[in-house]
Homo-oligomer: A and B are copies of this chain.
Amino acid sequence: MALLRKINSKAQATINTGFGVNPSDYGGRFVNKSGKANIEKSGIGFFEKMSLYHTLLTLPTWEFFLIIFIFFIVINLLFAVVYLWIGVNHLGGLVSNSAMEKFAEAFFFSCQTFTTVGYGRINPIGFATSTLAACEALIGLLSFAIVTGLFYGRFSKPKAYLRFSENALLAPYKDITAIMMRVAPFKNATLVDAEAKVTIGIVVEEDGKTANKFFQLPLEYNNVNALTLSWTIVHPITETSPFYNFTKEDFENTTGEILVYLKAFDDMFSNTVVTRTSYTFKEIIIGAKFKPMYMRSSEGNKTILHMDKLNSYIPADVSYSFKEKNTG
């Protein structure tokens, strides 16, 4: 039986997802686990298609420091070469003898100029060397102005400090079943006015050719006032769900993806933060329910949120939901 017929005709299709409907464009995943769209741009220059600043903001800390350190070494080596080329006799106060030591002193003079330490034992004499040193000090200060901006940018960049469960569950829910995903904040931020939007993308056969179909999934709650504990996002499989007629096999054999989009106001950044993730149908556990992840502290005066239990679940019978139903 064709998949398209299995998709509940009462489900609300949605088209303005920003993804194409032609499955020949579908590259295996609409959205990566990290929330980035699985898209590459071509026909545009490398520096035009990326934002250097934002790439530097999102680098791991150690890589960021490494880049600064390498830049510092390289630029001082370059300047040292030019100082030697102008003539080592234009650097006053040298105490070195060998060529190697002279190069080292030129390099250290360059470092002292670039960082504006300027001890002055080694100091520039003559027009060319003095000019170069003035330029180097300017470049040094501008570099540190840029680095200051980068540091602040890295610190202050609003991020949704939210973690999603690795799996979505098909879990019992009241008399029916529901798709459940769990999300929890892991930093000392308070996220208020959180709002979730869940869409599925499915590759179906229609009129003899395949197409990407998108459906918005109605949720138990679209928003919570404050995302302080964990939030289990629940899509109940009611008559209006696209999954209403799905069997266990349909979940296992269909190429599809649940796209989760979550927006909240973060009072730490005083800014709206946005995060996305996706669950392919292979990442849905059929027949399981989440274990509670928060409880009262032993002293009884706090609630403890166990972040390590975010993805803990126990098996739960959902076979009753796969019986034949009648839909239009």
Interface residue ranges, A against B (CB under 8 Å): 14-20, 22, 24-29, 35-44, 48-51, 53-55, 65, 68-69, 72, 76, 92-93, 95, 101, 104-105, 108, 111-113, 115-121, 123-125, 127, 130-131, 133-134, 137-138, 140-142, 144-153, 155-158, 161, 186-190, 192, 194, 197, 199, 221, 223-229, 231, 261, 265, 267-274, 276, 292, 294-297, 300-309
CB-defined A-B contacts under 8 Å, sample of 24: A17-B226, A18-B224, A24-B296, A27-B302, A27-B303, A28-B301, A38-B301, A40-B297, A40-B303, A44-B307, A54-B188, A68-B142, A108-B131, A108-B133, A111-B134, A112-B118, A112-B134, A115-B116, A117-B118, A118-B120, A142-B147, A148-B149, A192-B261, A271-B271
Q: How far is the CB of A103 from chain B (nearest CB, A)?
A: 11
Instruction: Let me know if B53 and A155 touch, CB within 8 A.
Output: yes
Instruction: Give Cα A180–Cα B20 distance, bound, in whole angstroms.
Output: 17
Instruction: Give Cα A101–Cα B303 distance, bound, in whole angstroms.
Output: 55
Instruction: Give Cα A111–Cα B156 distance, bound, in whole angstroms.
Output: 29
Instruction: Give Cα A199–Cα B151 distance, bound, in whole angstroms.
Output: 40
> Could you say which residues of chain B place their CB within 8 Å of the CB of A18?
194, 224-229, 231
Instruction: Give Cα A303–Cα B201 distance, bound, in whole angstroms.
Output: 15
Instruction: Give Cα A16–Cα B37 distance, bound, in whole angstroms.
Output: 30
Instruction: Give Cα A49–Cα B161 distance, bound, in whole angstroms.
Output: 9
Q: How far is the CB of A119 from chain B (nearest CB, A)?
A: 4
Q: How far is the CB of A204 from chain B (nearest CB, A)?
A: 17
Instruction: Let me know if A43 and B307 touch, CB within 8 A.
Output: yes
Other contacts beyond A37-B228, A48-B186, A54-B189: 13, CB < 8 A: A14-B225, A16-B224, A17-B224, A17-B225, A18-B194, A24-B296, A38-B302, A38-B303, A39-B303, A43-B308, A111-B133, A121-B123, A142-B147
Contact of A137 among B29, B112, B186 (CB under 8 A): B112
Contact of A186 among B27, B49, B229, B302 (CB under 8 A): B49
> Could you say which residues of chain B place their CB within 8 Å of the CB of A194?
18
Q: How far is the CB of A262 from chain B (nearest CB, A)?
A: 11
Q: How far is the CB of A47 from chain B (nearest CB, A)?
A: 10
Contact of A267 among B138, B270, B274 (CB under 8 A): B274
Q: How far is the CB of A216 from chain B (nearest CB, A)?
A: 9
Contact of A118 among B22, B118, B149 (CB under 8 A): B118
